[in-house]
Chain A
Amino acid sequence: MSLAKRIIPCLDVDNGRVVKGVNFVGIRDAGDPVEIAKRYNEQGADEITFLDITATHEGRDTTVHTVEHIAEEVFIPLTVGGGIRTVDDIRTMLNAGADKVGINSAAIFNPDFVKEAAERFGSQCIVVAIDAKQVSAEGEPLRWEIFTHGGRKPTGIDAVEWSEKMVRNGAGEILLTSMDRDGTKNGFNLPLTRAISDAVSVPVIASGGVGNLDHLVDGVIQGGADAVLAASIFHFGEYSVPEAKRYMAERGITVRL
């Protein structure tokens, strides 16, 4: 008996529609988030992550309604991230039916926000999202830094130290995106994933760069991830969730079939 490694399809949602960019440019429309979430639930996805990329304030209300609709029909855990900046934002999403919220840049601007959020709502619903890129030159010891603004702005913060600090502040889970891989379909940054997974006591979700099923396997076996997140390989029907699970199971990974 053991805990299953999780497969988490990610819906990037803008104004109530699912999209997925390639390095956040060249977005394609993949449809209605409620229908897609239901389909993933039927396929046996272990969780759904909903990343809100809506820029406008009015659009945020649409997001809340979308989360409500998903929570009424999909009975697996739902994480909502994107634009979570205040305790009120968290409460709004949890009340709408989210089980966890992802906090990203707000944690960088105010690390105590994570502490406050964990004390208020419990660590179990606080996911800290970390966008990291390798910054060490070739031949140097590996080093990764946190980036903001869709990977454009370096912060000077070391990714491993940051993840440890976020866990001390009460993060219950880390969503780690290899920003230099996002949208490339070349697979996760495995040394980064392994370094963070070994550094923290909480579960780590690997994200960014999945192009095939071997990448999911590598994220778990080499990267040490507890869960793997992917978007486009699932959205555009290249692979289904059951296919991914069977593939992982054949390679010795415990999954929920």
Chain B
Amino acid sequence: MAKSTVAVIDYGMGNLHSVASALKHVGDDVEVIVTGDADKILAADRVVFPGVGAIRDCMSEIKRLGVGEVVAEAAKTKPLLAICVGMQALMTRSEENNGIDCLDVFAGDVKFFGNPLNDVNGDQLKVPHMGWNQLHQVVEHPLWSDIEQDERFYFVHSYYVHAEDESLVVGTTDYGVKIHTALHRDNIFATQFHPEKSSTAGLKLLGNFLRWDGQS
């Protein structure tokens, strides 16, 4: 039987080494392909949509290479995991870089944390939100399998997602505001945190993704 395949979408925005290495680490029987080729992405069993850096640069490459269409097409038939700026790119619009239109797969905005940003005690919080914070699982989901409630994951971002439809929110994190840090609809699962940098918990999530058949 042929190995199952997972395509990591390469649209020229930085290091995909980490996410590819982490997927290989958890998926012994999985072939990991890092590619920008639409045919290869659409032929894979699963797709990962990563992203780092500024949203303007990401969106301009996404538009130039037609990545939005590939993501939309892939998500019709197979599980897709969007990470960090990949998640932000799925929203309607981002406040970063004076306002950038995104793919509008999920209705909602990507907002700046604000300055100053304070916690419940009035202490100032640093931006970027950088480090290990707790992920509150709002609902049960196959991707949370074997991961403890309020487990810590690694975050690094200065803008946060707020989805219009709360029913899509599967995970939240508090950092001065309540951030929607995981969204799910149909075949798409999106995380603001970096599972590939979140040690054991992150590897569990990636392993769960490689076993997930999508939809539910």
Report which A residues bind B (CB closer than 8 A).
Answer: 1-6, 41, 44, 46, 68, 71-73, 75-77, 94-99, 119, 121-125, 172-173, 201-204, 226-227, 256
Question: Residue on B with the closest CB to A173?
Answer: B130
B17 touches A3 (CB 8 A): no
Q: Which chain B positions have C-beta within 8 A of A76?
A: 154, 197-199
Q: Which chain A positions have C-beta within 8 A of B54?
A: 119, 122
Roughly how many angstroms separate A204 CA and B127 CA in the complex, as a whole number?
Answer: 11
Provide the main secondary structure of the chain B interface.
mixed
Question: What number of residue pairs across chains A and B have CB atoms under 8 A from each other?
Answer: 110
A203 touches B14 (CB 8 A): no
Q: Which chain B positions have C-beta within 8 A of A77?
A: 154, 156, 197
Q: Which chain B positions have C-beta within 8 A of A3?
A: 125, 129, 131-133, 175
B52 touches A125 (CB 8 A): yes
Q: Which chain B positions have C-beta within 8 A of A44?
A: 199
Question: Residue on B with the closest CB to A124?
Answer: B156
Roughly how many angstroms separate A217 CA and B157 CA in the complex, as a whole number?
Answer: 26
- Contact A2 B130, CB 8 Å, known A75-B199, A99-B18: no
Which among B126, B158, B174, B202 has the highest number of chain A CB atoms within 10 Å? B126
CB-contact partner of B128 in A5, A68, A121, A172, under 8 A? A172
A75 touches B197 (CB 8 A): yes
Give residues of chain B (4-52) contacting chain A, Cβ–Cβ below 8 Å. 14-15, 17-18, 21-22, 25, 52
B126 touches A95 (CB 8 A): no
Question: Residue on A with the closest CB to B127?
Answer: A201
Roughly how many angstroms separate A215 CA and B15 CA in the complex, as a whole number?
Answer: 35
- Contact A75 B126, CB 8 Å, known A2-B133, A6-B131, A121-B14: no
Roughly how many angstroms separate A132 CA and B147 CA in the complex, as a whole number?
Answer: 42
A46 touches B132 (CB 8 A): yes
B152 touches A203 (CB 8 A): no
B131 touches A226 (CB 8 A): yes
Q: Which chain B positions have C-beta within 8 A of A41?
A: 199
Roughly how many angstroms separate A77 CA and B195 CA in the complex, as a whole number?
Answer: 11
CB-contact partner of A97 in B17, B131, B134, under 8 A? B17
A1 touches B136 (CB 8 A): yes
B150 within 8 A of A: yes
A202 touches B128 (CB 8 A): yes
